[in-house]
Amino acid sequence: MENSTPKGHPKGLYLLFTTEMWERFSYYGMRALFTLFLINALMFDKETASGIYGSYTSLVYLTPIIGGYFADNIWGNRKSIFVGGVMMAIGQLFMFFSASLYSNHSVALILMIVGLTFLIFGNGFFKPNISTLVGQLYAETDKRKDAAYTIFYMGINLGAFIAPLICGYLGERYDAAGNILPGAFKWGFLCACIGMIISVITFEMRKNKVLVTPEGEPIGKIPNKQRLSAEEMGEAPVGKKSNSNVYVGVLVGMVVLVLLRFFVFMAEDETMIDTVNNYISAAIFAISISIPFIIITDKSLNKIEKQRIWVIYIVAFFVIFFWAAFEQAGASLTFFAAEQTNRDILGFSMPASWFNSFNAVFIVILAPLISILWTKLAKKNMEPASPYKQAFGLLFLALGYVFIAIGVDGVEPGVKVSIIWLTGLYFIHTVGELFLSPIGLSMVNKLAPVRFASLLMGVWFLSTAAANNFAGFLSSFYPDPVLTGTEVRALEKEFTTDTHKVYLLVDEVKKATPADTVKVVDDKGKPVEVKFSDIKFDRLFAEVKDKNDEKTINANAKIIQEKKIEFAKKAVNKEKSFIGIKITDLKSFFWLFVYLAGGSAIILFLLSKFLVKMMNGVK
């Protein structure tokens, strides 16, 4: 068989490469615009937007547990991938509808929630199953697996590289004055929808021809448990059944509960979003403990299988700290790119969303080199075991934040820094990611009992779910300058014209962020927006109030302006703290991630020797 040759890689790998590339194009194209859409079209402040972003990305990585269960027990990998792809295409279409109707805030919000729900469950069926199929293309002892997952990972990031450039260009548009155009976001989301459709079509057209084992047998057509022989089922005593049927009931019930509460709160009061995010956080961390516990207590597992699963769990715990810091790319680092990074290149102002491509292009460049490195080290019997590789990944992540912390040292709010600092961070983080993420996928594939292959891949993504939720929480510590109550009262007296009056809510000043604009009412009581060039300050928080009934009016859009030095001098950073670390400026904010990632790297290095023993010969 052509796929049995030890030279090169099976053709099926390149089908999975292409399918995943387009799916990641869809995901990252939408993600590059998501927080900008929340702030500039749906008018959320940064703290709320960070919470929504964290909840969405965490649920995206939570539902692979469901997809893994269905693949292992009911559908098989192929059908799960198809169903997931179709659901994600529908989800992106609803995001297009939401952005098209952004001026009707309540309708746009409901459409967005529906779209995110389809994306969340669709990704759950798609993500763990396509990753599992990569390993099934090779024999269990084939040393090309790490290299194969690195190549597959390059496909993921090729899509992630192209997506922000195209979707970001279409969706993040500015007028002649440099103001973002909220109506353009829909085209970026529609482009992401088209990418998902291409992914599904590509997979369906070629799957029967190239998705085969080294012996030529088809893979992914039937559930994993069904295709196993009695010998492959391990040493489960007679009469003892696997309790895996509990997984899907527990998880689906909790996820549905969270989503129902989300819809109820949205219907009652959109200000309850923070409460919804708290529900999601609690559910994710509860599931992160309960589902792995159910698996490890499964009576069909033997001693060696349990030890190997414990390795997956322990490493997954440390991976949480990696992704919590890494996923700042879609939140706080996007804020930093938009507000305090000089994006002018040869007269062209690069969209902030394009920075989401930097990590991906570095992976496309570096992945083949890292793949060759592992292959050569393996031939010399010098390749480090997976836990050591991932500890190095955490170390590189910490070094990336050290680099950017140096770049922002002493920089005041409103002052833009060179693009080299953010570029350098993404380069160093890319090296760390290549040491950790594809190696983790390969490790799970090699350590997981075959009957739990997709489910444990889902558990691996479950750690990413907890990490993304944690990332949204950490992003809320981003040090936005705010005006004090005294300055607000002074401005109330200062800025009153014949036709405009600024209504400021002093108790809400803590929400002042660089993405906000002053909203006023004219002499006829009509809501209007005033540019900051008219009032001496930039990005000031204020709510429009109707003169007659004093109810808050939702304006249709926000205007993003360049932050003025005058505002920066009058503004102060509200002091925050996390686990005893005070965060007062960008330097201290970035050092928070140095402590989290660096500390995790050191502990994982110390544990790696014991973890290797627990892997029982698997490297």
Q: What are 389-438's pLDDT values in tens digits?
A: 999 999 999 999 999 999 988 776 667 889 999 999 999 999 999 888 87
* Across 139-163, average pLDDT: 78
Least confident of 114-118, 524-528, 543-547: 543-547
* Across 89-103, average pLDDT: 94
**Token reading at 209:** 């021809």
Q: Is the pLDDT of residue 84 over 80?
A: yes
pLDDT of amino acid 382: 85
User: Which has the higher per-residue pLDDT, 336 or 550?
Assistant: 336
pLDDT tier at 22 (50, 70, 90 boundaries)? Answer: very high
Q: Is the pLDDT of residue 462 over 70?
A: yes
Q: Is the pLDDT of residue 549 over 50?
A: no
pLDDT of amino acid 105: 79
Q: By the 8 A CB rule, do 456 and 309 touch?
A: yes
pLDDT of amino acid 543: 34
Q: Is the pLDDT of residue 86 over 90?
A: yes
pLDDT of amino acid 311: 92
pLDDT of amino acid 269: 46
**Token reading at 543:** 């709510």
* Across 63-74, average pLDDT: 78
| Percentage of the residues of the chain whose pLDDT score is greater than 70 | 72
User: Which has the higher per-residue pLDDT, 117 or 555?
Assistant: 117
Strand, helix or coil at 222?
coil
User: Which has the higher per-residue pLDDT, 613 or 238?
Assistant: 613
Q: By the 8 A CB rule, do 584 and 575 touch?
A: yes
Can you list the alpha helix ranges (DSSP code H) found in 228-357? 245-268, 273-296, 303-326, 332-340
CA distance readout (Å), 276 to 24, 281, 396? 27, 9, 34
Q: Which of 199, 204, 205 is nearest to 159 (CA)?
A: 199
- Name the residue ranges covered by the structural domains of the chain: 2-224+244-479+588-614, 481-573
State how far the Cα of 13 lies from the Cα of 208, in Å rounded to an integer. Answer: 13
* Across 85-99, average pLDDT: 95
* Across 20-49, average pLDDT: 86
Q: What does the DSSP 8-state code read for residue 411? A: P
User: Count of residues for the chain?
Assistant: 619
Q: Which of 139, 102, 95 is nearest to 558 (CA)?
A: 102
pLDDT of amino acid 255: 55
Please give the helix or strand (H or E) that residue 134 lies within, else none. Answer: helix 105-136
CA distance readout (Å), 307 to 156, 302, 449, 604? 30, 9, 11, 17
pLDDT tier at 250 (50, 70, 90 boundaries)? Answer: low
Q: By the 8 A CB rule, do 572 and 509 touch?
A: no
| Percentage of the residues of the chain whose pLDDT score is greater than 90 | 24
CATH of 2-224+244-479+588-614 given 1.10.730.10, 3.30.70.3000, 1.20.1250.20, 1.10.1740.10: 1.20.1250.20
User: Which has the higher per-residue pLDDT, 577 or 259?
Assistant: 577
Least confident of 195-204, 223-232, 269-278, 494-503: 494-503
pLDDT of amino acid 569: 40
Q: Which of 555, 468, 53, 558 is nearest to 285 (CA)?
A: 468
User: Which has the higher per-residue pLDDT, 171 or 547?
Assistant: 171
pLDDT of amino acid 396: 95
pLDDT of amino acid 254: 53
pLDDT of amino acid 520: 42
**Token reading at 39:** 């702030």
Angle (nearest 5°) at CA 310 between 616 and 467: 130
Q: Is the pLDDT of residue 193 over 90?
A: yes
* Across 255-261, average pLDDT: 53
pLDDT tier at 544 (50, 70, 90 boundaries)? Answer: very low
Q: Is the pLDDT of residue 362 over 70?
A: yes
Q: What is the mean pLDDT of the chain?
A: 75
State how far the Cα of 617 lies from the Cα of 619, in Å rounded to an integer. Answer: 6
User: Which has the higher per-residue pLDDT, 505 or 131?
Assistant: 131
pLDDT of amino acid 413: 61
Q: Is the pLDDT of residue 207 over 50?
A: yes
Mean pLDDT comparison of 98-102, 448-452, 571-575, highest-scoring range? 98-102
User: Which has the higher per-residue pLDDT, 86 or 281?
Assistant: 86
Q: What does the DSSP 8-state code read for residue 180? A: B
pLDDT of amino acid 175: 60
Q: Is the pLDDT of residue 268 over 70?
A: no
* Across 599-607, average pLDDT: 94
What is the model's pTM?
0.69
Least confident of 101-115, 134-148, 244-258, 425-439: 244-258
Q: Are strands 581-583 and 348-349 parallel, antiparallel or unpaired?
A: unpaired
Q: Is the pLDDT of residue 97 over 90?
A: yes
pLDDT of amino acid 249: 54
pLDDT of amino acid 275: 66
* Across 10-39, average pLDDT: 89
pLDDT tier at 7 (50, 70, 90 boundaries)? Answer: low
Q: Is the pLDDT of residue 53 over 80?
A: yes
Q: Is the pLDDT of residue 251 over 80?
A: no
